[in-house]
Amino acid sequence: MEQLATEEQQVEAIKRFWRENGLAIAVGVVLGVGGLYGWRYYNDTQIAEKEAASKSYELVTTTLTADNTEKAQAFVENNDSGYSILTALQLAKLSVEKGELEKAAGHLKFVADNASDAAIKSVANLRLARVQNALSQFDEAMASLTLVTQDAFAAQVDEIKGDIYVNQEQFDDAKKAYNDSLKINANNQLVKMKLDNLAVAING
């Protein structure tokens, strides 16, 4: 899977990967089990579980709204497939939109702790840091950023560091963090705007 530049592209790529390859992965795993009878039994079981998880995921996500999250939450709690991780990400997004930041943080921590894919872990920790910053949990937000391991997200890590410093009125550190972000991605207009606003705050 190619390394992508943005969080949403990463998530969409992994969703697409699961839709297209989830069943094939299950088959690939069981090929190494050995023993014809054992392989057949394990193969049938794994395929059935994958198909059930896929159907449940499609059903849950097509009916998921801000006012109807119970089924999605139950799916996350009772399913250990990759689909539960993607569902938890969607629940976190809905929680943020509803202003339920503590709930959002809980969903994102679940993803960060349980996702096997490094890109998904990075996405979850980036979003968790933003939520923690909004909750004034600055030390926790910085700690979450240290868990973002993929170079593709380095500019976003520096940007969020800048946001955290701004909220603590550590303007010199914020300026450095924003400039570090722009060194990696010079075309980020939002970070440029944040720097301009920071200059006004410092000189105002």
**100 vs 52: CA distance, rounded Å:** 30
Question: Poorest-confidence range of 48-52, 66-70, 158-162?
Answer: 48-52
Distances in whole angstroms, Cα of residue 12 to Cα of each of 4, 17, 59, 86: 10, 8, 18, 10
Alpha-carbon distance 30 to 46, whole Å? 8
65 bridge partner residues: 68
Please report, for the chain, the start and end positions of each structural domain, with discontinuous segments joined by +.
7-149
Residue ranges in the chain assigned as alpha helix (H) = 7-30, 36-63, 70-78, 82-97, 101-114, 118-134, 138-145, 154-167, 171-184, 189-203
Q: What is the pLDDT of residue 126?
A: 93
What is the pLDDT at residue 30? 41
Q: Among the ranges 15-29, 45-59, 140-154, which has the highest mean pLDDT value?
A: 140-154
- For residue 124, what are the contacts with CB-CB under 8 A and spacing of at least 6? 89, 108, 109, 111, 112, 115
Instruction: Tell which wins on pLDDT, 138 or 119.
Output: 138
Q: Inform me whether the pLDDT recorded for 73 exceeds 70.
A: no
Q: Render pLDDT for 156-204 as a digit per residue (tens, 0 to 9).
A: 999 999 999 999 999 999 999 999 999 999 999 999 999 988 888 777 6
The 3-class secondary structure across 89-120, one letter per residue, is HHHHHHHHHCCCHHHHHHHHHHHHHHCCCHHH
- The answer, yes or no, to whether residue 47 has pLDDT greater than 50, is no
Whether residue 85 is predicted with pLDDT greater than 70 in this model: the reply is: yes
SS3 4: coil
When pLDDT is averaged across residues 44-57 and rounded to a whole number, the result is: 42
**How far apart, in whole angstroms, are the C-alpha atoms of residue 138 and residue 129?**
8
pTM of the model: 0.67
Tell me which of 155 and 62 has the higher pLDDT: 155
